Amino acid sequence: MERREWIGLFGRTAPAALRVAAAPLGKMRDPAWLRRPETGSVMVRGRAGGTGAAFNLGEVTATRCALRDGDLEGHAVVQGRDADHATLAAWLDLLLQGPRAAEVRRTVLIPLAQAEAARRDARARKAEATRVDFETMARGED
Amino acid sequence: MQPAFADHPTDSAVAFRAIMEAMARPGTLRTVAAAAPDGLSPAAAAVLLVLADPTTPVWTSSAQDWLVFHTGAPVARTRAEAAFAVGTWDDLAPLAGWAIGTPDYPDRSTTLIVEVPTLEGPGARLTGPGIASEARLPLPDPPALAANAALYPLGVDLILTCGARLAALPRSTHIHLEDA
């Protein structure tokens, strides 16, 4: 999993779920801030049918922060206004670039990725079960 | 990457006030400071953090990543498009390339943030708006700056920075060369 993927994953994960997943890593230090957590809104863009022209779907409240530890930097943008969520996500991003990467990958990243995949799969199945296929009878025009 | 203000709301308000006071009273010294990246003084860093934003292209040869990360300001590609420029006098001279505004919009000019070796000691005699009788400030190149002041109401404004201190030299200030 690449860095941009895990930053996105931490941002989408519910704060409580992220805290539970990261609990085995122990308590994080007070960070050296590059940018303290700040909440704002970002415009989410979409494409009709996934392929049409881009349009503005709506605004999402997001919180971002950046911190550093030694030579490493951790960045996070998370959904919602939970500053602790953003801080934890930034710490995890930082740890995934450092010597504890394998441990964090095993205890946090892979379980969260699997949980998200399962969530998406379940929703896709539920939607698929309600799919209606329209069929047109021959209308005898020819 | 280096951090910026430790306490952003308070520090930026204090720094803004100091810059405004310095510009209103040319030749006086104010102290401002922010955590500065390599290549910028604390005062120059504070000025950029307070004044630069995504609408103000900044001409700089150092700390570009830091500037973009903390302020969102674009890096100016040419001198003419820069709203702010930061560097030593040797980096920024001559003054010819910078935007000096237009008669209709004299505010569309570049503000130069000049890193100088000292703000103390003997200097050029200054008079004009905001100065009760006279002020003295060591200037990098008094004749060039006097020529800039002669363009008034056009011309560039200067903020001189040294360590954590700054002084301002707006285009409205008269520079007396005869006893510089």
User: Using CB atoms within 10 A of its CB, is residue A19 exposed (0-12), middle (13-18) or buried (19+)?
Assistant: middle
* pLDDT of residue B13 exceeding 90: yes
Measure CA of the first residue to CA of the last residue in chain A; give whole Å: 56
A70's CB contacts (< 8 A; 6+ apart) are none
**Does A97 touch chain B if contact means CB atoms closer than 8 Å?**
no
- Strand runs labelled E in chain A: 32-47, 54-69, 72-79
Asked whether the beta carbons of residue B3 and residue A33 sit closer than 8 angstroms, the reply is yes
A142 — pLDDT class (breaks 50, 70, 90): low
Instruction: Please give the pLDDT value at position B180.
Output: 47
Residue B4: which of A40, A121, A45, A67 has the closest Cα? A67
Mean pLDDT for chain B overall = 94
A120's CB contacts (< 8 A; 6+ apart) are none
Out of A32, A36, A68, name the one closest to residue B8 (CB). A36
Most B CBs within 10 A among A30, A34, A73, hence the mutation to make, goes to A34
How far CA A91 is from CA of A17, A22, A33, in Å, comes to 15, 10, 11
Instruction: Please give the pLDDT value at position B136.
Output: 93
Please state the rounded mean pLDDT for residues A68-84: 94
Please state the rounded mean pLDDT for residues B147-152: 94
Per residue in B65-99, pLDDT (tens digit) is 999 999 999 999 999 999 999 999 999 989 999 99
Asked whether the beta carbons of residue B8 and residue A73 sit closer than 8 angstroms, the reply is no
How do B174-176 and A54-69 pair as beta strands? unpaired
**Does A33 touch chain B if contact means CB atoms closer than 8 Å?**
yes
Residue B5: which of B60, B58, B50, B65 has the closest Cα? B50
Please state the rounded mean pLDDT for residues A55-76: 94
- The two three-digit tokens of residue B75, written as one number: 């890096």
Residues on B contacting A at a C-beta cutoff of 8 Å: 1-4, 8, 69-70
Asked whether the beta carbons of residue B3 and residue A73 sit closer than 8 angstroms, the reply is no
> Which chain A residues are within 8 Å of B8, Cβ to Cβ?
36
Asked whether the beta carbons of residue A32 and residue B8 sit closer than 8 angstroms, the reply is no
Please state the rounded mean pLDDT for residues B145-156: 95
B179 — pLDDT class (breaks 50, 70, 90): low
Asked whether the beta carbons of residue A68 and residue B1 sit closer than 8 angstroms, the reply is yes
Instruction: Please give the pLDDT value at position A28.
Output: 87
Please state the rounded mean pLDDT for residues B112-131: 93
Residue A32: which of B115, B6, B23 has the closest Cα? B6
